[in-house]
Structure 1
Amino acid sequence: MSAKKLKLVLCWHMHQPEYRDMQSGEFKLPWTYLHVIKDYVDMVAHLEAAPAAKAVVNFAPILLEQIEDYSNQVNGYLHDRIAIKDPLLAALVEPAISADPERRLKLLRDCKKANRERQIERYPAFRKLIDMADWVQAHQDSVNYVNSQFVSDILVWYHLVWMGETVKLSDGRVQRLIEKGSGFSLHDRIEIVEIIGDLLSRVIYRYKSLARKGRIELSVTPYAHPIMPLMLQIDCAREAMPGISLPALEHYPGGEERVRWHLQKGVATFRHFFGFEPQGCWPSEGSVSERTLQILAEAGFRWAASGGNVLHNSLHASGMAGNCSPHQPFKVHSADIACFFRDDGLSDLIGFEYSKWHADDAVADLIKHLENIADFDSREPLVSIIMDGENAWEYFPDNGYHFLSALYRRLSEHPRIELTTFAEYLDNAAARMDALPKLVAGSWVYGTFSTWIGDADKNYGWDMLGDVKAAFDRAVANGKLNEQQLLQAQSQLGVCEGSDWFWWFGDYNPGEAVSDFEKQYRLNLTNLYRLLGEEPPAYLALSFTQGSGNPAMGGAMRRGNQI
């Protein structure tokens, strides 16, 4: 067997969109704190437990701000009894469970939002409560006969099943509550909030500590996770999909200025939390274009990354298909920045297939693929596995605990695989980088922008965004906003420009998720109009997209390759 080694970068992207009503401060959806207590704390615990492991962890700045807000709110409640502005989290500490039938039905609906096989079925006591909640939802008049203890127990269990596996294994309070199983008291519910507060208050510091020790590299995404190439030039979507239908909006007004705003605010937010500036940027959804890379280079970034299909399309357009290894960074002639490309096949194996395997078999299979790459690549390869850092694990047994433990351990011990980071690779004098004459604009999903534009509902969303941006520009040009109002309006506009709203528009997505995100999008736009002193258009009162699909993993993840 060849002794040639392989360098491997594991890059985990941590990202949640802005779930707050920016005017009231209320969290409309609970996913930020739920992913903190399950996925962000588990991932950092796995890294802490594997001293020889290395990884890149990428944070969306708007996620960091929400984690800080949640931590402050929980501490404010525990120390000064200040109300928590998240309805689900606040329900845990209500002295008396609400007697309002609609409120109780909503709590029961919310507490069903967990993976049926891995989270609900794992605990017979919780499964029984969920079966009862299903029956109550099917016979809604019966909610009047549901007592407070039932609602209290399902609330506690919901938060217990969302706890990370490393928390369940190490926190005696969680273990005691799981063992208790029923009859949870107000004291128990407050204890859950105390546990959540502990996890929220330390999670960012734990990543910062690993970065200071050189164990991980921390990188950043533009502030509110916008699709930068489309903001710069909407019709760049045609580079990978010439026949795509585009919005009536021919270009996003002032797009380059807004892209630079997201980058500057993103870096400033990152510096606030971590104390240094990042060397790399995972552009939102790996979305790149030649102009995007130029702006990233001008902003001081050493590296960016995208999807394997972007590289595939670009090599074909450059007449280089089959002439060079994809397992290396490239430099586009017009931008002084290294661009790494995701191995879509290996990344998708983790995201979509290995959850069905025994952990040891899955890790052995991944290592075999890596050994094959090392054997057959003409030079020492650099493989990039780039993944959503949160949504995959609920499909694995025990939140991926066994898989991730084995993954870090076996990769760290492997004689031919060297875990590294993007910045560390570039620091190596022997690092190679081929020139890429032409970059075809696209994202990590299929190498196109079809997840965010082209569908009729997605295009309508862009036209709505164009309308509010025009109103913003008028208000600025007319001097209607004072300095504080301008800062508020800029941030609210940034939230509206986020990619997540467009991801969920379209009938191929699940109905409930589409409804949640399109309501939030219309709220964001409405809030911005009001900040600008304008009456929101009547169309913002009406739902404009519905979903009825059943995509893999609930639609929260996509494969890099279309199947």
Structure 2
Amino acid sequence: MIPHIPKLDLVLLWHMHQPDYRDSETGEFVLPWVYLHAIKDYTDMAYHLEMHPDIKLAINFVPILLDQLEDYADQFAHGEIRDPLLRLLAAPDLDRISLSERTLILESCFLSNHETMLKPYPAYQYLRNLYDNLQQLGDKTLRYASGQYLADLLVWYHLAWTGESVRRENASIVQLMSQGKLFSYGDRLRLFNLIGELIQALIPRYRKLAQSGQIELSTTPHYHPLAPLLIDFTSARDSLPEAVLPPHASYPGGRERVSFHLKSAKDSHTQRFGVQPAGIWPAEGAISEPFLNILIENDCQWCASGEGVLANSLRKSFPDQPLPARSDYLYRPYSFKAEHGSTLCFFRDDQLSDMIGFEYSKWFGRDAAENFVQRLEQIRHEVHSHRSGNTNPVASVILDGENAWESYPYNGYYFLNDLYELLEKHPHIQTTTFQDYIAKLSRSRTAIKPLPALAAGSWVYGSFSTWIGDHDKNLAWELLCAAKQSYDLVLQSPRLTKTEKAAAERQLASCESSDWFWWFGDYNSPHAVESFDRLFRGNLTNLYRLLKIPAPVTVLEPISHGGLSDSDSGAMRRAS
């Protein structure tokens, strides 16, 4: 008799996140990435799910991203646009704009992956050639470029950032791309209004998918803080014992700040989607024992992290035993118990996740999809052949759901369509959600392995080296610690009203985002580092303004300058 091989459960989790790009003093959006990803990636990802109703997966929305999406939707509803690039798209006369506005268009409208988002469109490439030629002639700001050139550039930039599903289904986009040039004010206004419609429809689309049971929506502490480091800087030494840490022993009141971010996330999720989130994808998959205790106190059923964290935790739990075969330990959840209860921890398959994030963009879409499925089939057979007693194997593939597709032809349209099609029909692999998988374990009364000790770390290298440990990152932590100490002193005094205290707390939360620390360091490009350096220091300056005290001079000086970017730079990184 041929032994029964259990099916392999697959949980795909697409993580959607952007930090807060708003200036709290003016309400202006400093960078356009929220609305650009909205019309391209968030729109396309919803479309693929709607076209493949038998696919089940998880979508993680960070609340600060949802806050900004709702902000944009409100701007379109009231006709008061606070994003300078969007305002320019709808400006009636581009011949009369200021030099600074002209510079903004020229500095913004070629920021994309040129191989996949510029070169395929001859009319857009022509605009780039003109720009390069004029720059070589010494006209660095294209002061004499016509309003028509700027109009065509604005339209093509936004067309390139429009989702493939929209290009295929919206007649206005088809017409604009066919026209190619000499776009009128009316053309620009049509594109502008479509952007508003796409953004306003996004949250309702995902809410509908969740209500149907097709997707599970999870959340992250509100402003995406690196929770273990807020609680204890020395947690970085779990994976890197020699890590050089900031001079402050810890972030002041860090545990309370993590609890604030988590409670705020749960409240905003419940308000938007009508149910409490069952699980948490921590910012950067960063976990530690004190942080998991906070999750347990807040009734979180599950959380997830990286494969490297699991390997380090098993070594810490069983120091006298060699690490078993990967297929023996990776494809199962683990129970982490604390005084007040327990939570389930899932760990991503770093290899599969990185294949989607970095490798499959170089393949034909169908070939990539078939290779991914073949790898899953191999995992299923390896789990069974090792006879580890894992009767309900699960593979967790967790990665950025927005930035990867810029490197794919057609925004990953063919890869995702073929992948979902193959998985829908597969007899031995079933897509599911973490919540549904946990319910399945409960019904079958499957014993879940405990994780006796947890080694703190993130999905990147299993460590916190991306966010702490070098000069620039540590300097940023020093500035944040000093600002938090000032915050604590002011809030203990009667200087601020209740409303002013709430505004200061929101601003502090934005300063605590992990994103600023991600970008500091010489492995990122000077342009990107300069943008996020300025944003971080602007946030700190606004915090001091809200506290009604002067900002220290150190906040006015750049923290990091970047260097020569390499394959590990940018908005995405490999796990190992």
TM-score above 0.5, yes or no: yes
In the alignment, residue 105 of structure 2 is paired with which amino acid? L
Q: Comparing 448-457 with 100-109, which one deviates more in the overlay?
A: 100-109
What SS is found at the alignment partner of 1:258? helix
Post-superposition offset of 1:141: 5.3
In the alignment, residue 359 of structure 1 is paired with which amino acid? G
Post-superposition offset of 1:326: 1.1
Partner of 1:391: 403
Partner of 2:516: 501
Partner of 1:345: 351
Post-superposition offset of 1:265: 0.8
What SS is found at the alignment partner of 1:121? coil
CA contact (8 A) 2:85 2:104 kept: no
Structure 1 residues 99 and 491: alpha-carbon distance in aligned structure 2, compared to 1, 3 A threshold:
closer
Post-superposition offset of 1:96: 1.2
Partner of 2:283: 284
Correspondence list, 1:123-522, <5 A: 123-138=121-136, 139-140=138-139, 143-319=142-318, 321-322=323-324, 324-334=328-338, 336-377=342-383, 378=387, 379=390, 380-428=392-440, 429-430=443-444, 431-522=446-537
CA contact (8 A) 1:61 1:220 kept: yes
Structure 1 residues 454 and 40: alpha-carbon distance in aligned structure 2, compared to 1, 3 A threshold:
same
1:542 matched to 2:557 = yes
Post-superposition offset of 1:100: 3.0
In structure 2, distance between residues paired with 1:339 and 1:218: 17
In structure 2, distance between residues paired with 1:248 and 1:136: 50
CA contact (8 A) 1:329 1:432 kept: no
What SS is found at the alignment partner of 2:23? coil
Q: C-alpha offsets along residues 379-402 of structure 1, whole Å, 9 cap, x if unaligned?
A: 341000001000000111100000
Q: C-alpha offsets along residues 493-534 of structure 1, whole Å, 9 cap, x if unaligned?
A: 000000000000011101111000010000000000010010
In structure 2, distance between residues paired with 1:338 and 1:95: 55
In structure 1, distance between residues paired with 2:41 and 2:143: 36
Structure 1 residues 66 and 142: alpha-carbon distance in aligned structure 2, compared to 1, 3 A threshold:
closer
CA contact (8 A) 1:101 1:143 kept: no
What SS is found at the alignment partner of 2:436? helix
Q: Comparing 384-393 with 329-338, which one deviates more in the overlay?
A: 329-338
In structure 1, distance between residues paired with 2:155 and 2:166: 15
Post-superposition offset of 1:333: 3.3
In structure 2, distance between residues paired with 1:347 and 1:408: 16
In structure 1, distance between residues paired with 2:143 and 2:62: 43
Structure 1 residues 142 and 328: alpha-carbon distance in aligned structure 2, compared to 1, 3 A threshold:
closer
- Tell me how many residue pairs correspond in the alignment: 556
In the alignment, residue 462 of structure 1 is paired with which amino acid? W
What SS is found at the alignment partner of 1:27? coil
Partner of 1:85: 82
In structure 2, distance between residues paired with 1:121 and 1:57: 31
CA contact (8 A) 1:229 1:288 kept: yes
Q: 2:47 aligns with which of 41, 45, 48?
A: 45
In the alignment, residue 129 of structure 1 is paired with which amino acid? L
Post-superposition offset of 1:325: 2.1
In structure 2, distance between residues paired with 1:216 and 1:420: 8
* Percent sequence identity over aligned pairs: 45
What SS is found at the alignment partner of 1:140? coil
Q: C-alpha offsets along residues 125-173 of structure 1, whole Å, 9 cap, x if unaligned?
A: 0011012223334423572321110000000010001000000001111
What SS is found at the alignment partner of 1:467? helix
Post-superposition offset of 1:254: 0.6
In structure 2, distance between residues paired with 1:216 and 1:40: 14
CA contact (8 A) 1:105 1:137 kept: no
Post-superposition offset of 1:484: 0.4
In the alignment, residue 455 of structure 1 is paired with which amino acid? D
Uncovered stretches (5+) of structure 2, i.e. residues with no partner: none
CA contact (8 A) 1:328 1:432 kept: no
Q: C-alpha offsets along residues 82-121 of structure 1, whole Å, 9 cap, x if unaligned?
A: 3x11111110111111443343132111001011100001
In structure 2, distance between residues paired with 1:509 and 1:111: 21
In structure 2, distance between residues paired with 1:312 and 1:413: 33
Structure 1 residues 261 and 142: alpha-carbon distance in aligned structure 2, compared to 1, 3 A threshold:
closer
What SS is found at the alignment partner of 1:549? coil
CA contact (8 A) 2:238 2:456 kept: yes
Q: C-alpha offsets along residues 418-453 of structure 1, whole Å, 9 cap, x if unaligned?
A: 101001011112344211111000000000000100
Q: C-alpha offsets along residues 310-340 of structure 1, whole Å, 9 cap, x if unaligned?
A: 0010111111621742111101233600000
CA contact (8 A) 2:337 2:343 kept: no
What SS is found at the alignment partner of 1:548? coil
Post-superposition offset of 1:476: 1.1
Structure 1 residues 167 and 554: alpha-carbon distance in aligned structure 2, compared to 1, 3 A threshold:
farther
In the alignment, residue 374 of structure 2 is paired with which amino acid? K
In structure 2, distance between residues paired with 1:554 and 1:445: 12
Which TM-score applies when normalising by structure 1?
A: 0.97
In structure 2, distance between residues paired with 1:530 and 1:477: 17
What SS is found at the alignment partner of 1:12? strand
Post-superposition offset of 1:480: 1.8
Which TM-score applies when normalising by structure 2?
A: 0.95
